[in-house]
Amino acid sequence: MTRNPKTDLALARIDTEEKTTDVRLRLKGKLAVDLADYLRAYAEANGPVDLELLLPHMLGAFMDGDRGFQAWRKGDAVRAKAQTA
């Protein structure tokens, strides 16, 4: 079965010149399989990239899209500003 090389993923192409961060993480089961599949899908859509470079962007995209977190962050900033006033 051939896959469409122009898959539209939520994560855009990553700039490989970016600074990397070491992350130590052990995954098993379905999450490990899903992550390996996502890495392959990303490579088909955007070209190969190391998992160590992809993971921070996936985590960042998740946090950016989490409305509850964004609302909390906005409220936290308001609370912090109120405390300094």
CA angle 69, 70, 75 (to 5 degrees): 95
Task: State residue 43's pLDDT score.
Answer: 95
Task: State residue 17's pLDDT score.
Answer: 66
Q: Which residues lie closer than 8 Å to 22 by C-beta, 6 or more apart?
A: 52
Task: Give the model confidence (pLDDT) of 13-69 as tens digits.
Answer: 777 666 666 668 899 999 999 999 999 999 999 999 999 889 888 999 999 999 998
Which of 4-13, 58-67, 70-79 reaches the highest mean pLDDT? 58-67
Task: State residue 18's pLDDT score.
Answer: 62
Task: State residue 58's pLDDT score.
Answer: 92
Which one-letter amino acid corresponds to residue 33? V
